[in-house]
Amino acid sequence: MMNLLLVDDQKSVLQGLLHGIDFEALGYSRVFTALNAADAIKVCEENAINVLVTDIEMPGLSGIELIEYLQQHFPTVIRIVMTSHAKFFYAQSSLRLGCFDYIVQPAPYEAIAQTLRRAVEAWNLNFNNRRMMEYGTLFKCNPNEFLAKAINNLYVGTADEIEESMELLNKAGYSFTMDSLVHLFWVDIHAYTNKEPGYPSQRYLMKTINDSIPVLFNTDSLSHFIVMTPFRMFSIFIIDNNNKTQPLDEERIDEFFHTLQKKLETESITLYFSDPVEYKNILQEIHYANTCIGNNVSSRSGIFNTSTANASDPPANADTSANQKYWDSLLRTGSFPMLKKEIQLYLNRNVLDKPNSLQLLKKTHQQIINLFLIYFYKNNVEVSSIFSKDFTFQDCMDSFSTIDAVMKTVDFLTNAMKESQKTEDTEKDYVSRAKSYIIDHYNSELSIKEIADFVHLNPEYLTRLFKKEIGTTLKDYIIECRISKAKDLLANSSLSISMIASDVGYHNFSYFAYLFKKLEQVTPREYRNKFAGRALQD
């Protein structure tokens, strides 16, 4: 569906067009209006306008000036002018400016509708031509990317897009129809799929796979192409226009598999294949393959027939509730090696090799993540602080595709917990040393910088850390220590109050008296008298 913009300085004309023409039936999903050229330009800047119909004579910029502006800044917009018989020369000017057509007013709504209908047809034709030119250029410069673009809809698209993919492939030189048989293969080279250090390049792998395909079939009689799937696997399409291909011999498939292992010098390869399928039914076959590939949660090497993988035992259920309390106790007691061992055993027993392994693994992964997140929350660990650009929170939440990925996440989270505990112990040690220094030097001219230098921390960081651990600021803690010592001297010595103030670090008596009353709700003298009275009673 397309967007249309109507421009006329007379509201009555615009209202008449809006009520007199069924724009939706013509192919327009939205119709915008403007009373002048300036408003029309603003509409074009804020919306994707496909077709514009404009009057010529308007206040401010004229329709011709509007057309000139659109020709320069929005050249793809189809432009149509409306003019009267008396101003027919305007129509000639508009055609010279590349306008699609002109409407001579007054014109019946049916005539206007016909012009708008032809504009839709012209837009669709131009759009398809532009797209074909883009596809042609893409295929010429990047054949692999073109094929991937054509096939991608088969993995994430709908049935409506099968034919479009076929037409694109036909244009690329792969001649087949909706009834042609297709063999499908998926090659999972684990080092490449998992982006392991030093993994081989895509170009090298595609060439190696292509050079090995003659082991499967006679390349002179059947056409084929290789594309990269959205899951970093290599998909092979073998096309049979004669519809005579039988399921490939298992020996050939086995030989192809071992040829790849030998050429790539690795046994970590998984080969998936389907029985021959008509191209029009390819979406279902790819769905079966995706399910089969997803359920290989252990990333086992070997050969799998995706067409028969779905005719398996009834799906199993995974319930970790019986294990949750045990896992939680291991986590709370810091028994991380035992926790990882228990989770691995559970996955091997209850998820591995089950018909719906991927769904079971997703559920277990979610429960494991929740276990750690709750523990972090209860222990005041800021979750965002444990992640980095190398392993983000989203990476953690997405790590459910294989058992290895889940266990790597468990490793990461247990290591993060150990680090948080180390950090917590270290932070408590810093605070303890700061408190001891304050107690030993409470009667000197203490500064936060002096204390921070003693414990070898940044003053701002020490201030935040002290507040977090003790619940009070460094300055308040120093005051509390001094007042506490002053209370002891007031109650148990005969020193004058002014001398006591000086002895605890306050040379300004008034300030000392102010702080003392603020904390104790009585003056230093009242405090001494209270204790003197108790001594007499005793």
- Give the chain's end-to-end CA distance (angstroms, integer): 98
Look over the chain and give the mean of its residue pLDDT values, rounded to a whole number: 81
Amino acid at 372: F
Mean pLDDT of 326-354: 83
Q: Which tokens sit at 284?
A: 């279902």
For 47-61, what is the mean pLDDT?
88
- Classified as helix, coil or strand, 324 is helix
- Greater pLDDT, 16 or 332: 16
- The mean pLDDT value for 209-228 works out to 84
What's the Rg (C-alpha) of the chain? 39
pLDDT tens track for 428-466: 777 888 888 888 888 888 888 898 888 888 888 888 888
Residues 74-88: pLDDT tens digits?
888 888 888 764 444
**What is d(CA 486, CA 480) in angstroms, rounded to the nearest whole number?**
10
Alpha carbon 494 to its chain's center: 72
| Cβ neighbours of residue 249 closer than 8 Å, sequence gap 6 or more | none
The DSSP element (H or E) to which 30 belongs, if any, is strand 28-34
Q: What is the pLDDT of residue 390?
A: 83
For strand 269-273 and strand 181-189, is the pairing parallel, antiparallel, or unpaired?
antiparallel
DSSP state of 247: P
Any bridge partners for residue 422, and if so which? none
Interacting residues of 318 by C-beta distance below 8 A, sequence separation 6+: 350, 351, 360, 363, 364
Q: How far apart are CA 422 and CA 341, in angstroms?
A: 23
Which tokens is 171 given?
């244009």
Residue 169 reports pLDDT greater than 90: no
Residue 135: what pLDDT?
54
Average pLDDT over residues 136-163: 63
Query: Any alpha helices (H) in 10-142, and if so which ranges?
Result: 11-20, 23-26, 37-46, 63-73, 88-96, 109-141
Beta-strand (E) ranges in 219-301?
Answer: 223-228, 234-240, 269-273, 277-278
Q: Is this prediction's pTM over 0.85?
A: no
Contact 215, 221 (CB under 8 A): no
**523 — phi, psi (to 5°)?**
-80, 165
How much is the pLDDT for 535?
Answer: 45
- Helices (H) then strands (E): counts for the chain: 23, 11
User: Does residue 188 register a pLDDT over 90?
Assistant: yes
Q: How many CB atoms lie within 10 A of CB 359?
A: 20
Q: Would you state the pLDDT for residue 532?
A: 66
